[in-house]
Structure formats: structure tokens, C-alpha cells
Amino acid sequence: MRGFADLVWPPVSLLSYEPVTAHGQLSPADWSKIVFLDDPQCAACGFPFDWPPGEGAVCGPCAARAPAFDTARSAFVYTPESRRLVLSLKHGGRVDGPAAFGGWMRRAGRAMLAEADYLVPVPLHARRLRQRRFNQSLLLAQSVAKLSGVACDPHILMRRRATPSQGGQSARGRRRNVAGAFAVRDGAKARIRDARLILIDDVYTTGATLEACARALKRAGAARVDALTLARVVRTSDVLT
């Protein structure tokens, strides 16, 4: 059946739609266009450094204002090329990518995954979920869970109010937009007390959404909240202190 399906829907690269040997792959040319992230990075938010600055070094924004989450890591830089991967999942409805994305995210978050109790996908509001029909963060969390063995629990956090899109807003505007938008479900509070949690989302832009989620989780008693995303926006203004 799989062979027949491949004849009807032949596997193509996630980026360029060039033929590949299996679904969820990148062609060699497309692979070279993705900027994957690894050390050296900011010890807090994962901002990439050009040189090893020393253990525990943080970037300028994290030194000025420590994030609400403990650490954040991302699989690759959000560039014009990689943006197409994210949007094909988020808005295009193409769901053959999460298997590959989960592997990339597991590599990026290998240290935090080794100690985690639950993966917590950033929730959509019910209205947005009805429109989109799926939560891309949940698809990513399920893929990471399958590869890492860490349980995915989509019933811990809820989005208690619909918020306007974060697109086009300043960092301060994004923080205001999601302030108080997330809450821990009553039935999950006992489960996460003293637990080590990892938030899963598609893109780290300013970290406002992840911080709002982390605050809600820590208020409910979580011992540690890290964040793992597929992509990360990297601004040249974010510099080493």
C-alpha cells in the first residue's frame, strides 16, 4: 500500500518539491539552504554566537531582562527559505514535515529532553483551531514525543482568550497581546506540580508567547519550564553582552 501511495503521491522535497526517496525529506540542494542551530548559543534563549563566549554566557536582551522560561532552543534559523517550511505546515496544511521536524527539534533540545517530564504544545484558541483544523504545535510535540520518549500532554495549557495575530507587532506589543492569555487547566495542576516541562511551538520570534505560557505553568507549580521551537528569528541587534 505504501508503494502504491508513493506512485499516486510521489515523495517530494519539503522545500522545493524536487523528487526525493521518502516523504518528509529535503533534497541535497534544499538541505544546504537551511541554517541549523547548535552551540555556541546564549545559555538562556539560544541566540547563536559567532564564537564560544564561555560557559553560561547570555545575549544582551537576556542580560537586560531574564526570560520567564529557563532555557529555549530551536532547530534552525527563520530565513526566507526556511520560512516556507514553517508556513507549509502552519497555513498550507502540509503535514508530511513533522516527522523530519521532530528529529531536528530533538537534536536541538537534546539536553532539556533528557530531564523532561512532559512536552506541552502551545495551545490555539478554540476559534482558531476550528478555522485551521489542527494545531501545528501539537503536531510538532507529538513528533518530538515519538522520537524522544517524553510524553506529550496537550491538556495542560489552555488559551482562555482569542488574541490578535502577533505578526507585525513590536516586542512590547507582543507581550501585551498575550499577557494573561494562557492558563493551566484545573485538572492538570496536580500533575505538573514540581514537574519539568518543555513548551513546544513553531517559531520563536520575541519569545512573548513562550514567556506568557511559562509564567502560567510556573504559577501552577512547575519546577522548570524550557522551550523548544522549530525555528528562531535571529536579529542582528541581539548581541553578546
pLDDT, residue 82, reads 93
Q: How confident is the model at residue 71 (pLDDT cuts 50, 70, 90)?
A: very high
Helices (H), the chain: 2-8, 28-31, 60-64, 80-90, 98-108, 110-113, 126-132, 136-148, 171-178, 189-192, 208-219
- pLDDT tens per residue, range 119-177: 999 998 878 777 777 899 999 999 999 999 999 999 999 988 767 566 555 666 666 66
83's grid cell: 520560512
Q: Tell which phi-psi region holds residue 168, choosing left (phi > 0), alpha (psi between -120 and 50) or beta.
A: left
Q: At what angle do helices 80-90 and 136-148 cross, to 10 degrees?
A: 100
39's grid cell: 552551540
Distance CA 236, CA 18 (A): 32
Average pLDDT of the residues in 70-79: 97
pTM exceeds cut of 0.85: yes
67's grid cell: 526570560
Three-state secondary-structure class, residue 109? coil
**Amino acid of residue 36:** F
The answer to whether 144 and 106 are in contact (CB under 8 A) is yes
